[in-house]
Amino acid sequence: MATLRDIKRRINSIKSTAKITRAMKMVSAAKLRKAQDRMFALRPYAEKIDELLHSLAQPGEQDVHPLLKVRPRKTVEVLIITSDKGLCGAFNANVLKAGVSLINRLRSEGLDVSLSTIGKKGRDYFKHREVKMRQSWTGLSGKVSYTAAQEVARELMQSYIDETFDELYIVYNEFKSVVAQTIVEKRLLPIAEIKQEEKEAFKDFLVEPSEEEIFNVLLPKSIEVLVFRALIESAASEEAARMTAMENATKNAEEMIDRLTLEFNKARQASITKELMDIVGGAEALKE
């Protein structure tokens, strides 16, 4: 049986673990709030870009923007967004599982698959797997900046235009609520045909340089915004997942402390009883 000292030591070690998990939960909660603010801040911008894209005249058939051009599929690129840090429950496992199943599905269609990842966890996961890793970005998940998203988006768009791949899918965690994150799998390139709406809003507008040119500038911008959004959503989901994971860890640690304390008290009582028995036994022996 464990001695009193052993139990005491275990209780103390679990107590300090609980302290750490509780602190991590608090940090995540603060970071989550920030990430959520970002998501709300982006919304008006994204909506405006979308609205403009839909209302501007598009260039004619002959010089369609290269990002809209649909090519026969040979190589398909998959971009998976993971986190840099662990201790966030099933966050990375879920997105990686979805990514792998997408890759397998594409392969079963006889397509070549190349891969890009964001986040250390994704990079490490695929390091020893049979996938052609094209690019990996790390250090983005902590503080997502638009410039970083722009960089990623530009590289991807350039590779698409250079025909390195013919289609681009993105897989990431979408933030639904603190307790629910869903995996999203989206085709980013080529851009699905943009339906032109009644351009009531901009009918009498002067446009400089020209509607077509602005449209061509906006198109890559819309991809940048999509990538940026995916990064923010993923960052928010990561913090939410970590918060939940740390809360569970704290709860488990507390349960364990309770159990060990009970055991500790029992052991202490047992040792007291034993000592008493000894004393009584000794006294009885002396009487006779």
Partner 1 sequence: MAEKLTLEVVSPYGAAFKDEVDEVVAPGTEGEFGVLPGHVPFITTLKIGVLVYKKDGKPGYIFVNSGYAEVYEDKVLVLADSAEKAEDIDVERAKAALKRAEERLQKKEDIDFARAQAALQRALTRLKTVELAGKK
Q: Which is nearer to partner 1, 163 or 213 (CB)?
A: 213
If the CB atoms of residues 161 and 183 are measured against partner 1, the closer one turns out to be 161
Tell me the backbone φ, ψ of residue 82, rounded to 5 degrees. Answer: -120, -170
Q: Which is nearer to partner 1, 206 or 285 (CB)?
A: 206
Work out how close the CB of 45 gets to partner 1 at its nearest, in angstroms, rounded to a whole number.
Answer: 5
* C-alpha to C-alpha distance for 61 and 259, rounded to whole angstroms: 73
Output 164 or 210, the one with its CB closest to partner 1: 210
| 65 is a catalytic site residue | no
Pick the closer one to partner 1 by CB: 62 or 147.
Answer: 147
- Within 10 A of 107 (CB to CB), how many other CB atoms are there? 13
Q: How many other CB atoms are there within 10 angstroms of residue 156's CB atom? A: 24
CB of 202 to partner 1, least distance (A): 7
Contacts with 213 (C-beta within 8 Å, 6 or more apart), sequence order: none
User: Minimum Å distance from CB 224 to partner 1?
Assistant: 8
Kind and range of the H or E element at 80? strand 75-81
Nearest approach, Cβ of residue 133 and partner 1 (Å): 21
Minimum distance of partner 1 from residue 210's CB (angstroms): 10
Catalytic option among 7, 88, 144, 226:
88
**Distance, CA of 86 to chain centre:** 11
CA 24 to chain CA centroid, Å, is 17
Question: With respect to partner 1, which residue has the nearer C-beta, 41 or 280?
Answer: 41
Which residues form the interface with partner 1 (CB under 8 A)? 37-38, 40-42, 44-46, 48-49, 52, 146-147, 150, 202, 204-209, 213-214, 217-218, 225, 228
128, 110 contact by CB (below 8 A): no
Alpha-carbon distance of 186 to 78, in angstroms, equals: 10
Q: Tell me the closest approach of the beta carbon of residue 48 to partner 1, in angstroms.
A: 6
Q: What is the DSSP string of 156-180?
A: HHHHHHTTS-SEEEEEEEEE-SSS-
With contact defined as beta carbons under 8 Å apart, do 54 and 111 qualify? no
What is d(CA 82, CA 218) in angstroms, rounded to the nearest whole number? 28
SS3 label, residue 272: helix
Distance of CA 56 to the CA centre of its chain: 34
Q: Which residues are catalytic?
A: 88
